[in-house]
């Protein structure tokens, strides 16, 4: 029982200490007089003053949170993570310079953070908002980068005769005009484009309804918009394997680690799973009974940026054949051939039966003929002699009559 009582007292004491500690923490006062100034179309300079009644022994810093939206948050959180719609800076002084665009308006919040202050929490934020431009000159922006050329395209919202297009070069720290310009398109030629590691800033300016208008935009670096040429694919057979080979003659701007190859193919009209590899050669097993259809697409690796090529033209190899076709043909064709041969033989046999099978006499007739032709009656010598004598006498008489007439 005493142990339960001791535990209860300890819990109560701990809870009381917690409440005392919380009550002892207070917020720092917010900064004062936050103002801004555009030094260039892309450079925003912010200034503010230290909080009022700040303890001289309290050392502080400031969090600057700039959001691409005109709707300011109720309270900025200095420990929040940066996202694509926000830029967060931690500074020691009461000034901050940012490279930023104003497309959708801006919300700027400055918060005081304690560095060496007892029982002090960060201050409430001091916010100001900057409205977006009243007129947007272009929309539907897109980019394609290849070999020191950045092609920028857009759709004009309205006709602006003196429309100009500029970009900010971080290496030169200056704004440069794009001179290779057409309607809805301009090509930037700059050998430093692929080395840019920060965001790109663009400026469109012109006169709309008699008033000058500036539109600034911020987009990703050129390497995020790489457009690769359409590749060519060849297929070669090596024994029981097929080799897919991609032409890489124009992939010389970036290192080989920046390119991946997406091979898609089908065999016997069945689509095989696609394969993304870092080699321009790909090998598959070969089936002589199948036709192979293959294509390849080059992908710019996320290690270096983003982008891809169009799919190559489809390449075919081999032909589809039924593996059971020889047996099927044997079952069908061989009986058909035998039947045809049998019919032809019967027709020829019927037509030439007298030659092929001559008529054989009956055996009785053969023996009868042999008896008629070969059996002779025996002659009587006496009869023959008398006949001969009479013949000779007759001939003699005729001779005498004709020779010695009376």
pLDDT tens digits for range 311-335:
999 999 988 876 655 555 566 777 7
What is d(CA 242, CA 266) in angstroms, rounded to the nearest whole number?
13
The token duo for 126 is: 């001091």
Whether the predicted pLDDT of 77 surpasses 60: no
**Cβ-contact 223, 146 below 8 angstroms:** no
The pLDDT assigned to 26 comes to 86
For 191-241, the pLDDT digits (tens) are 999 899 989 999 999 988 888 999 999 999 999 999 999 999 999 999 999
The pLDDT assigned to 399 comes to 42
- Min mean pLDDT across 87-96, 158-167, 392-401 is at 392-401
Whether the predicted pLDDT of 379 surpasses 60: no
* pLDDT, mean of residues 38-67: 91
The pLDDT assigned to 108 comes to 93
At 363, the pLDDT band (50, 70, 90 cuts) reads low
Whether the predicted pLDDT of 303 surpasses 50: yes
The pLDDT assigned to 11 comes to 53
The pLDDT assigned to 296 comes to 96
CATH of domain 229-317: 2.60.40.10
Domain boundaries, the chain: 26-130, 138-225, 229-317, 347-406
Q: Does domain 138-225 have CATH number 3.40.50.1390?
A: no
Whether the predicted pLDDT of 271 surpasses 70: yes
Selected residue with higher pLDDT from 383 and 167 = 167
What is d(CA 47, CA 36) in angstroms, rounded to the nearest whole number?
6
The pLDDT assigned to 176 comes to 92
Rounded to the nearest integer, the mean pLDDT of the chain is 81
Whether the predicted pLDDT of 264 surpasses 90: yes
* pLDDT, mean of residues 149-154: 96
The token duo for 71 is: 């709707």
The pLDDT assigned to 374 comes to 60
Q: Which CATH superfamily is domain 26-130 in?
A: Immunoglobulins (2.60.40.10)
What is d(CA 46, CA 100) in angstroms, rounded to the nearest whole number?
12
Nearest Cα to Cα of residue 249 among 237, 271, 234: 234
Selected residue with higher pLDDT from 344 and 154 = 154
Whether the predicted pLDDT of 394 surpasses 70: no
* pLDDT, mean of residues 93-121: 91
The pLDDT assigned to 327 comes to 58
pTM of full prediction above 0.85: no
Whether the predicted pLDDT of 6 surpasses 70: no
The pLDDT assigned to 18 comes to 47
At 337, the pLDDT band (50, 70, 90 cuts) reads confident
Q: What angle do CA 85, 306, 86 make, to 5 degrees?
A: 10
Same fold, 138-225 and 229-317: yes
- The dihedral through the CA atoms of 70, 76, 82, 87 has a sign that is positive
- Min mean pLDDT across 24-28, 122-126, 182-186, 362-366 is at 362-366
Give the residue ranges of DSSP H helices in 234-324.
Answer: none
Whether the predicted pLDDT of 34 surpasses 80: yes
Cβ atoms < 10 Å from Cβ of 226 = 26
Residue 287's Cα: distance from chain center in Å? 24
At 250, the pLDDT band (50, 70, 90 cuts) reads confident
| Rama region for 19: left / alpha / beta (φ>0; ψ in -120 to 50; rest) | alpha
């Amino acid at each position: 029982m005493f142990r339960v009582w001791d535990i209860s007292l300890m819990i109560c004491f701990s809870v009381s200490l917690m409440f005392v500690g919380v009550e002892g923490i207070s917020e720092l006062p917010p900064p004062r007089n936050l103002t801004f100034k555009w030094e260039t179309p892309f450079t925003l300079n912010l200034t503010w003053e230290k909080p009022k009644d700040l303890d001289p022994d309290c050392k502080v810093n400031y969090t600057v949170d700039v959001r691409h939206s005109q709707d300011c948050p109720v309270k900025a959180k200095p420990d929040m993570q940066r996202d694509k719609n926000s830029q967060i800076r931690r500074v020691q002084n009461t000034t901050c310079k940012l490279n930023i665009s104003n497309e959708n308006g801006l919300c700027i919040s400055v918060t005081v953070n304690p560095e060496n202050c007892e029982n002090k929490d960060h201050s409430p934020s001091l916010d100001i908002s900057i409205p977006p431009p009243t007129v947007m000159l272009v929309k539907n922006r897109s980019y394609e980068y290849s070999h020191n050329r950045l092609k920028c395209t857009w759709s004009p919202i309205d006709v602006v005769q003196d429309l100009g297009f500029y970009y900010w070069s971080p290496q030169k720290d200056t704004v440069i005009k794009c001179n290779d310009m057409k309607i809805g398109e301009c090509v930037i030629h700059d050998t430093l484009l692929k080395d840019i590691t920060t965001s790109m800033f663009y400026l469109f300016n012109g006169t709309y309804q008699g008033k000058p208008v500036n539109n600034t935009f911020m987009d990703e670096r050129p390497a995020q918009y790489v457009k690769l040429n359409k590749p060519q694919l060849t297929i070669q057979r090596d024994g029981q394997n097929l080799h897919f080979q991609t032409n890489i003659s124009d992939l010389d701007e970036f290192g080989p680690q920046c390119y991946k190859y997406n091979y898609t193919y089908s065999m016997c009209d069945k689509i095989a799973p696609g394969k993304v590899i870092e080699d321009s050669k790909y090998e598959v097993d070969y089936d002589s009974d199948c036709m192979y259809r293959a294509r390849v697409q080059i992908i710019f690796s996320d290690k270096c940026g983003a982008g891809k090529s169009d799919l190559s033209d489809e390449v075919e190899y081999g032909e589809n054949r039924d593996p059971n076709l020889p047996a099927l043909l044997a079952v069908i064709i061989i009986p058909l051939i035998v039947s045809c041969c049998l019919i032809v033989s019967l027709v020829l046999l019927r037509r030439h039966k007298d030659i092929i099978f001559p008529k054989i006499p009956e055996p009785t007739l053969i023996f009868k003929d042999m008896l008629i032709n070969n059996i002779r009656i025996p002659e009587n010598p006496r009869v023959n002699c008398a006949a001969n004598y009479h013949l000779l006498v007759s001939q003699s008489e005729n001779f005498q009559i004709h020779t010695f007439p009376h």
